[in-house]
Amino acid sequence: MTKPNASVELNAITKSYGSTTIIGDTSITINDGEFVSLLGPSGCGKSTILKMIAGLASPSTGTVSAGNEEIKGPGPDRGMVFQDHALLPWMTARGNIDFGLRSARPSLSKTERADITRTHLEQVGLTDAAERRPARLSGGMQQRVGIARAFAIDPPIMLLDEPFGALDALTRRELQLQLLNIWEASHRTVVMVTHDVDEAILLSDRVLVMSKSPEATIITDIPVNLPRPRHELSEDASVEAETTALRKRMLHLLEH
């Protein structure tokens, strides 16, 4: 079976609520296998763009497509990780991943699901917490389950809405590195919303910087040509200089 094309395209979209045009004329192309971040001030419409790709919102004008097909609603080709984890409270960590797999990939056998679930729990360091329900998991652990579930389902296109937003700095960094490892092994198409410049630089191939709403749009498309695998931000002098320059440029764009 050939791998389906997992590109994403927003073609001349706008989004209005009532008489306010939140997002002005915007076009975005995301290539198959690319990790792209949407960076911008709060309220500029980043989540709205992600929801359009997820099929949970539609543009007021213009079209959104995935794999060259216009998006009409949610589909198994696109998976989303929310900031609030969206775990089922009555199921264990293992149960949540197993349930996600059963819904999204019904052709898998019970044994296959168990294997995939085990591997992904291990990948995010949750083997020992597999039988706990969300109420007995910390915020960081819940977020890990959400990420493990999304990657276990392994949709061609992954949508991450500030996936580390609610976490403390250390947990955040640890999970960013785990996501980086998982992504560098799979090279899925990822679109991530963030307002964290360092997070965007660490993870992305490309960072799209947005202006403020109303009439928000992409003001700059910044390639991040730092070597991979990245694991950590490198201490190599030239890489460090490039990272600093990228950070400065992005912060400047956000502030002005």
Phi-psi category of residue 169: left, alpha or beta, with phi > 0 → left and psi -120 to 50 → alpha: alpha
Provide, rounded to whole angstroms, the least separation between the CB of residue 226 and ligand ADP: 25
Site string for ligand ADP, 187-226 (x = CB under 6 A): ------x-------------------x-------------
Residue 214 tokens read as 């109303």
Residue 66 tokens read as 């995935």
| Binding of ligand ADP by 17 (CB under 6 A) | yes
Answer for which of 21, 37, 47, 123 binds ligand ADP (CB under 6 A) is 47
Q: Tell me the CA distances in angstroms from 123 to 75, 152, 215, one per residue in order.
A: 26, 10, 41
| Binding of ligand ADP by 48 (CB under 6 A) | yes
Burial class (CB in 10 A: 0-12, 13-18, 19+), 108: middle
Paired with 208 in beta bridges are 38, 221
Residue ranges in 90-129 that form contacts with ligand ADP under rule CB under 6 A: none
Complex with ligand ADP: residue 39 or 101, whichever CB lies closer? 39
Of 9, 163, 159, residue with least CA distance to 78: 159
Complex with ligand ADP: residue 117 or 213, whichever CB lies closer? 213
Binding segment for ligand ADP (CB under 6 A), chosen from 40-48, 109-117, 119-127, 201-209, is 40-48
Binding segment for ligand ADP (CB under 6 A), chosen from 27-35, 42-50, 98-106, 173-181, is 42-50
Beta carbons within 10 angstroms of residue 249's beta carbon = 15
| Residue whose tokens read 């989303």 | 80
Interface ranges with ligand ADP (CB under 6 A)? 17, 22, 40, 42-48, 193, 213
